[in-house]
């Protein structure tokens, strides 16, 4: 079989493609390996990995025209704090909301080992379907909002194959065959205990997202259908280091999982679990020091109460009433006075702050002196520093 799609050895040469039938043969060979890669020997796995990296030597991508305005991510407190050797509690570091440390990054849908990709959903229900929290888990929902001026080079994986494509040349024909293959690999159901089965989408994604030659047109994120939600949801995988450049972290919420719903309809926007009737959160952050800010005295007490309701002798029993919310959110943001004259006097001209304008626009991690006049005029307010 052929070793790559294009015969050309570099981008400086005229594009010379292998025969379409040979490309299709190789793609079908790869399809025959779906769900079997985890069982390969280490030597065979390394050979396949090199073969796949060599084969896809032309890029297929449909750029995202409209980026998701809001993203939701679920972090599992039990796993994160256990890995850090800490007792179960609420999360206090912004880094705990992002991708795991590099040494803990293995194969994923859109990343190979040692590459940090942050996986988010475009809805709360989607985040639950992807992470599937279990009974007894404590989770943290992070809510992100696209910055008004943010631009992200993202590409999208299609939901369905193109029917009756218009083909005028062999390049177009190969394009549609690759499009079909991409849809197959990004829609492949994979068990979490078989991470190597992600090989195809992981290598393709990492090749796109971590292209070794820096360029303004390099991709930074991928949108793809949710496999777990049977394509009734959208996932967004973004390079970890650019997330807070492109999106504002606008709030976090700690929830306590009571039980998992069975036979849930993926087309609905229902979350996958039942949870303690109360949760708590904050919308205050110290981005300079990477901290999630709480009224700690209250947060400590409320955590103990909700955890005992979750796993203690008096475990909550759910009584639902029409018109009443399932979950009551307690805002435990710290009582920080940020915009009174005395507080502002303490901020140095070069201190980094976050502000929000009357029109809803935000500026994060900017020097106080750059927005000082706007603050004094009352055009914007400080949200944290």
How much is the pLDDT for 38? 98
Q: How far is CA 146 from the centre of its chain?
A: 13
Q: Give, in order, the Cα–Cα distances in Å from 246 to each of 71, 72, 127, 148.
A: 11, 14, 20, 9
Per-residue pLDDT of the chain (385 residues; tens, 9 = 90+): 999 999 877 656 778 899 999 999 999 999 999 999 999 999 999 999 999 999 999 888 888 989 999 999 999 999 999 999 999 999 999 999 999 999 999 999 999 999 999 999 999 999 999 999 999 999 999 999 999 889 999 999 988 888 888 888 999 999 999 999 999 999 999 998 999 999 999 999 999 999 887 777 899 999 999 999 999 999 999 999 999 999 999 999 999 999 999 899 999 999 999 999 899 999 999 888 899 999 999 999 999 999 999 998 776 766 666 666 677 889 998 876 667 666 777 788 888 888 888 777 888 888 999 999 988 888 888 877 7
Output the pLDDT for position 354.
85
Q: What is the pLDDT of residue 1?
A: 93
Residue 20's contacts (CB-CB under 8 Å, 6 or more residues apart) are 170, 173, 174, 177
pTM, two decimal places: 0.86
């Amino acid at each position: 079989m052929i070793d790559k799609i294009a015969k050309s050895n570099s981008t400086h040469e005229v594009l010379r493609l292998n025969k379409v039938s040979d490309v299709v043969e190789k793609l079908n060979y790869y399809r025959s390996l779906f769900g079997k890669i985890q069982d390969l020997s280490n030597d065979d796995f390394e050979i396949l990995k090199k073969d796949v990296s060599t084969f896809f030597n032309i890029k297929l991508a449909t750029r995202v025209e409209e980026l998701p305005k809001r993203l939701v991510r679920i972090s599992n407190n039990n796993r994160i704090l256990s890995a850090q050797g800490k007792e179960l509690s609420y999360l206090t570091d912004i880094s705990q909301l992002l991708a795991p440390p590099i040494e803990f990054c293995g194969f994923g849908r859109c990343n190979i080992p040692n590459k940090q990709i942050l996986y988010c959903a475009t809805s709360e229900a989607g985040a639950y379907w992807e992470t599937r929290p279990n009974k007894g888990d404590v989770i943290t929902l992070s809510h992100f909002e696209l910055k008004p001026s943010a631009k992200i080079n993202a590409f999208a994986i299609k939901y369905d194959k193109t029917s009756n494509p218009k083909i005028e040349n062999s390049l177009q024909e190969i394009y549609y065959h690759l499009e079909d293959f991409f849809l197959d690999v990004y829609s492949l159901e994979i068990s979490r205990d078989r991470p190597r089965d992600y090989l195809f989408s992981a290598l393709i994604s990492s090749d796109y997202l971590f292209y070794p030659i820096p360029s303004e047109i390099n991709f930074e994120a991928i949108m793809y259908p949710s496999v777990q939600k049977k394509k009734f949801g959208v996932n967004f995988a973004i390079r970890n280091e650019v997330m807070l450049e492109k999106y504002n972290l606008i709030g976090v919420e700690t929830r306590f999982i009571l039980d998992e719903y069975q036979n849930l309809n993926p087309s609905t926007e229902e979350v996958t679990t039942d949870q303690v009737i109360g949760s708590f959160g904050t919308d205050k952050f110290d981005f300079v020091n990477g901290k999630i800010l709480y009224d700690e005295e209250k947060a400590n007490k409320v955590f103990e109460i909700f955890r005992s309701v979750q796993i203690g002798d008096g475990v909550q029993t759910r009584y639902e009433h029409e018109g009443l919310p399932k979950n009551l959110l307690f805002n435990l943001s710290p009582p920080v006075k940020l915009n009174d004259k005395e507080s502002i006097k303490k901020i140095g001209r070069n201190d980094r702050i976050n502000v929000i304008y009357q029109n809803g626009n935000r500026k994060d991690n900017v020097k106080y002196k750059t927005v000082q006049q706007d603050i004094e005029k009352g055009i914007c307010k400080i949200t944290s520093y």
